[in-house]
Amino acid sequence: MKKAKKLRKKHRIKKKKPILENNFFGGFFIFLFLILGSTYLFVFHPFFQVDSISFTKKGDIDEDLLSKIIDKQIEKNWFFLDSKSIFLISGKDIEKNITEEVSLIEDIEVIKSFPSEIIIRGKSRTPFAIWCSRESEEYCHYVDRNGVLFSEIEIFIKDFVVYVEEKEASFGEKIISKDMINSLYSMKEKIQKEGLNLSYFKIHDERKIEAITKKGMRIYFSKEQEKMEAEMANFNITINSIEEEDRNNIDYIDLRFGDRIFYYKR
C-alpha cells in the first residue's frame, strides 16, 4: 500500500513596500506638503503682502500717524520670518489700537481689500465745547458732542465753555454724559434768546450748575437733568417779569427750589 505524500505549503515572503507607497505615510506626506504649501502661499507669498494703505476720511486726520500705527500692527513674525500677509491682519485689533492711541478719532473702520490693500475709513472728533478743569485757559481742552475730551484748544473762543472744580481728565476720556452736555447747550441757547450773553457754565460738586453771563449775572440750576427743563421754564418767566433796564443789576437767580424762585439785585 502506497503512503500518501504530504504536501508542503509553500511559504511566500512578502516584499516590504517603500514608505511612500504605504497608504498612511503617503497620505500624511501629501497632507504635510499641502499644509506647507498653503502656509507659504497665504503667509509669505508676495501676492498677499500688504503694500498699500488708503484713507477715506472726514475731518482733520493725520494720515502719517495712522500709517505708523497700522505698520506696527501688520508687521508679523512667523517662525522667525517677517510677513505682512493680509490674512494675518485683524481689522478689529487695528481699530482698537488706533482709538486708544489717537483721541482725535471718533470713528474708525478697517477694511481688508484683497489681495494686498488696507482701506481706512475714519472720522475725526469736532469741538463742541471747551472744558476747563480750572478757571484758567491753560487747563482747557476741546470736548466733542459725546462728552469726550480729545484735544488742546487752538483758539480760546468763549462760545460754549464749561468749568468744573479741580477735575482732571486725560485725552479720550468721557468726562461728561452726552445728555448732560446737550442739556447745557440747550440752556445756553435759551438764555441767549432772552438777550443775555452767556460767558460760561460752572459745574459744582454740590449738585449745582451755575451759568454766568458776561454782565456778571449768575443763574443757579440743579444738576438733576429731569429738573432742568422745568427750571428753564421758570427762568423764562422770571427774566421776562423783570424790567429790561433792571436786568443788568441782578446778581443771581436761583431756580433750584421748584416754583420758589429767588433772585437778588445788586
Spell out the domain ranges in the chain: 41-124, 129-265
CA angle 188, 192, 194 (to 5 degrees): 130
Q: What is the pLDDT, as a whole number, of residue 34? A: 67
**How many Å apart are CA 264 and CA 245, to the nearest integer?**
15
Q: Are 61 and 54 a contacting pair, CB within 8 Å? A: no
Residues recorded for the chain: 266
**What is the tally of helices (H) and strands (E) in the chain?**
6, 14
Distant-in-sequence, close-in-space partners of 112: CB < 8 Å, separation ≥ 6: 86, 89, 91, 118, 119
Query: Quick one: cell of 90?
Result: 485683524
Q: What is the CA radius of gyration of the chain?
A: 36
**How many Å apart are CA 212 and CA 204, to the nearest integer?**
13
pLDDT tens-digit profile, the chain (266 residues): 455 555 455 555 555 555 555 565 666 666 666 676 676 668 888 999 999 999 988 888 888 989 889 988 888 887 778 899 999 899 999 999 999 899 999 999 999 999 999 999 999 999 999 999 887 788 899 999 999 999 988 888 878 999 987 677 889 999 999 999 999 999 999 999 999 999 999 998 778 999 999 999 999 999 888 899 999 999 999 999 988 888 888 999 999 999 999 999 88
Distant-in-sequence, close-in-space partners of 154: CB < 8 Å, separation ≥ 6: none
**How many Å apart are CA 122 and CA 55, to the nearest integer?**
8
Q: What is the pLDDT, as a whole number, of residue 16? A: 55
Domain covering 41-124 assigned CATH 3.10.20.310 in the classification: yes
- Write the class of the CATH domain 129-265: alpha beta
Q: What is the pLDDT, as a whole number, of residue 4? A: 52
> Identical fold at 41-124 and 129-265?
no
**How many Å apart are CA 83 and CA 169, to the nearest integer?**
39
What is each CA distance from 37 to 44, 101, 115, 134, in whole angstroms?
A: 10, 38, 18, 63
